[in-house]
Structure 1
Amino acid sequence: MASIGVLGPGGVGGLIAARLGAAGHEVTVVATERTAAEITAHGLSFQAPGAAPVVSHPDARPWLTAPVEVLVIAVKATELLAAVQRVPAAVLDKAIVLPLLNGIDHLPVLRASYPRATVLAASIAVEAVRHRPGAIEQLSTMADLAIADGTPEGVRAAELFRAAGLTVGTHPDEQTVLWRKLSFLDPFALLTTGADAPIEEALRRKPEWLRPLVDEAAAAAAVHGVDINADAVESRIRSLPGTMRSSMLRDRQAGRALELDAIAGPVIRALGHAKATTTVEVARTILGNS
């Protein structure tokens, strides 16, 4: 049994907290005062596809006050700087930090914030939502975690999450772990949010956007030494359930801050405006409609 902290028990963080708790680990969730109070009073409700909700009772706090062996960070990129104030560096010491954020720019920020900890590159592909504080639903069976396992800490983290029943893939190169997700998420999120529609309708409204977005994301990955199969990414996006919405589209429709810089920013910065023309065009469309 390991001691696990989960910073941000939203859709992703709540799912992780519920699954690790069910596997017998000691879980502490760190959240805003309201969310921590809700979970303390009512528990954490988690519903997987085809199953009834299961309620667990992790320790819930607005600040992490005791050391943990592993800290999972599952907040939005727009909330990262405020969220890490809830986890002092002295409490973490040499813990493993596993950030499940969109984008690539959070790694150096977290390594500066927690210099004694081991911050791993990781990503997760999952469709999960928080209906209200402490009430989490996984919408599809997909829950694929990727972890850079080029260190002993990475190997240990992968083993821990596999034992908890999650599908875990590994790669020794952290840029590969991050860009494999971003090269899919960037075109999917920009297309659906720019068209303000789920993927099937977005493809009908803006068919000219998909392939250039995919190609630009793949070219940006290549700048970082990562080879992405653009044909496979396009095929994957076209095969998604027609009603599927990206998290960015969900945020826009709910009036929340968008992770536009975290998702589109790395592509534009890697290629420059002259080569990331469609990414820039769609980003401007999203900003103009927000």
Structure 2
Amino acid sequence: MHTVIFGAGAVGGYFGGKLARAGFPVTFLVRKRRFEQLKNRGLIISSFHGDFTINPHLVVESKEIENPELVILALKNYHLEEALPQLEVLISNGATILPLLNGVQHMDTLTDRFGEENILGGVCYIESTLNEEGNIVQTSPMHDIVFGSLREGQSEFTSKIVNMLKKSELNVLQTDNIISEMWKKFILLTTLSGITSATRQPIGVARNDLVTRALLVDFIHEIYQIAITHKVPLPEDTVERIIKKVEDLPPAMTSSMHRDLEKGLPIEVESLQGYVLELANKHEIQIPVSRAIYSLLHPFLNGTPQLQ
């Protein structure tokens, strides 16, 4: 299966690198600056599961790609809009999109424009970042992909994806309840990123402080209530399961939002905490914790603010 990795950052670069290393045909669709960086140095991955380097097949325009079958979309949410024309070309040439973006809001954007038949649902669990040289550093056992179809009739195609990911030594789970799985991840990620970014500390700090831990629990409850009101099919024990996941995280674990904040980069606050506020306003639900976290992070939306 010819896979296009749209974005060779910390997430897409890692998964694409694993696929290419296993011998599958992979094309990396990247921006010009990343193209030059990877062309000159190769894709260098330092991983909990073993270090490796590949010489990736790189393009900067989707029209250069022949016979794309699967597109793993691994961009920041704030880059999605500008990526839509490139995605349109890939879909017109036969590709199906597997988005691994943070959050859930992007699914409406993709399905409204391209139709459910061309989009899969997906989430990933991975702790990875780019270092100053542009190399990928993956630092925990997690390198998991959970995905599924939005409609029936794609079982043969999705089985091929499962087989490919397993042969690439990645953890993969195919599910018939992908929207539920995406929302579970959304609640976990939105609260984890919000609390680690607001405190400027890894999760262990918030977890070990009784006051901040109580705030985190309230944060989880707020987003769960919004999801239920929004008619997301979540099990009744969702909050307890997410709290258990937070408790089981390594104390030094943080979020990509926290890392981006420390680097002075733009953060995905609008597509995570901001989307929570959007739904809360729609359903007229009071969410004081979510609103406070969003307000604290909003000045850093476009990176470190410049004082005038």
Q: Compute the TM-score of the two structures, normalised by the length of structure 1.
A: 0.90
Deviations 1:154-174 (A, max 9, x none): 343233222322111222133
Equivalent residue, structure 2, for 1:83: 83
Q: Is the 8 A contact 2:122 2:147 kept in 1?
A: yes
Amino acid at match of 1:218: Y
Equivalent residue, structure 1, for 2:119: 119
Amino acid at match of 1:162: K
The answer on 1:262 being equivalent to 2:271 is yes
Equivalent residue, structure 2, for 1:287: 298
Distance 2:117 2:96 in 1: 6
Change (3 A) 1:119 1:24: same
Q: Indicate the SS of the match to 2:72.
A: strand
Equivalent residue, structure 2, for 1:176: 180
Distance 2:116 2:195 in 1: 39
Change (3 A) 1:212 1:54: same
Equivalent residue, structure 2, for 1:189: 193
Structure 2 unmatched runs, 5+: none
Amino acid at match of 1:221: A
Equivalent residue, structure 2, for 1:60: 58
The alpha carbon displacement at 1:27 in A equals: 0.9
**Number of aligned positions between the proteins:** 288
Distance 2:32 2:117 in 1: 26
Equivalent residue, structure 2, for 1:97: 97
The alpha carbon displacement at 1:252 in A equals: 0.9
The structure 2 residue matched to 1:217, chosen from 211, 217, 223, is: 223
Change (3 A) 1:221 1:155: farther
Please report the RMSD computed on the Cα atoms of aligned residues, expressed in angstroms.
2.3
Deviations 1:53-80 (A, max 9, x none): 3111121121121231111110111111
Structure 1 unmatched runs, 5+: none
The structure 1 residue matched to 2:253, chosen from 233, 244, 247, is: 244
Distance 2:266 2:298 in 1: 11
Equivalent residue, structure 2, for 1:226: 234
211-220 or 115-124, larger mean C-alpha shift: 115-124
Change (3 A) 1:26 1:92: farther
- Identity across aligned pairs (percent)? 21
The alpha carbon displacement at 1:92 in A equals: 4.6
Change (3 A) 1:96 1:192: same
Equivalent residue, structure 2, for 1:28: 27
Distance 1:23 1:271 in 2: 44
Equivalent residue, structure 1, for 2:288: 277
Change (3 A) 1:276 1:56: same
The alpha carbon displacement at 1:113 in A equals: 4.5
Amino acid at match of 1:286: L
Q: Compute the TM-score of the two structures, normalised by the length of structure 2.
A: 0.85
